[in-house]
Structure 1
């Protein structure tokens, strides 16, 4: 920590591990069991405590609170952790809580994520890479968020929900069921569409998107049980990666509730 820049008003407890080029701004606080990677910056008035690791190049803005005990009445002081990846941006008043004994002891956020002001990631969540949480998004405990998922403002995600990679959650939505990869969920409670705009922005080609659209119609709007439709789509679209990802996601649900289109029923 010889080249760390620490403002005179900041508090860095003995035992904290600071990488090269770390900057800790005015009135910030770093706990004894915190590790800050190279070039991490706490702009000002930020608190990082608990058993927390922050990856290189991440910036944390004023009044963010990372590592304080989770908002879970079952928590009883266990030595759980937070891991935040590299090059993340954590804006004003964001809160991130560590894991619990009942959920794996770890809350994890991947690389290159943007958590906008006042968003919240609860205990035991697993958030992938390149995820964007807009203002006031709340992710409840034990939820799993895939890579490249985007959230509009003021969304809420119920505990234990899974959201597949490249999905998008529209503003003001309440998510209380799993959202398939590449899905677009909107509403209170949310209903499902395909995230076609997001797929095009991420560089997926017309052939892959058209196959996914066909499989989507077969799975959610066809005849027969959901299980039978998923099995048929797996056969019809064998070797098509986007469809295989959706099929694998649904098969892993093991009876969990899925977010569905407005005119579909879960008749599995």
Structure 2
């Protein structure tokens, strides 16, 4: 089997790999049960769409092979990380004429979030770091994650559970590792991700469950009149938000119901 068609389970990238040199690639982090990956269709679709946008040849069968091999290794709840690299290239930004993307995979033990955070809610802070606006990369889970690294350092230093990130225009985008949903009365809102941010898998699942959800640019005032706020990602699941700056909210019944429904997929 050609290396460009294989799944590499012991990744040892060379210093010529474009993922290491330039962050040229994409990744997925998904939660597994020995019986399967309940959100696989979302991860698979996002990685295939991202590869197409970045011009990286990727066959769907290759991803299915990675999942099949992961499940064969999985005897308890785990996290599978898939990294799609553009492969090796010479010095300089230009990709080689013959591109051979590499697909790396690694299993990690699942470390579920603290029960207190799931039950009582998370404390958010407002990060001073602003996300750059770049429509060509917006929504993608690409390998250039320095903004999130710096944001997470800010979250840790401040003692928050998570941090809200705005873009350079002042619009709310996401948290450092989670997407945001806000309810006003009967209407749910989540940030538009056409300029910055990551279109998360749990976010996609929630959009299906909630039906009509507003997606447009809004500033921090969106929290001032909120009835319910939640954050989500595919590994941690759904968590209610307790506080942000001077605002606070109760754990909403809709959040609790959605949280339970998502967790039931992994039972």
Please classify the TM superposition score into its range, dividing by the shorter chain length. under 0.3
Of structures 1 and 2, the larger Rg is shown by 1
Relative to its length, the structure with more helix (as a share) is: 2
With the length of structure 2 as denominator, give the TM-score of the two structures: 0.25
User: Which structure exhibits the higher relative contact order, with contacts defined as CA atoms closer than 8 Å and separated by 6 or more residues?
Assistant: 2
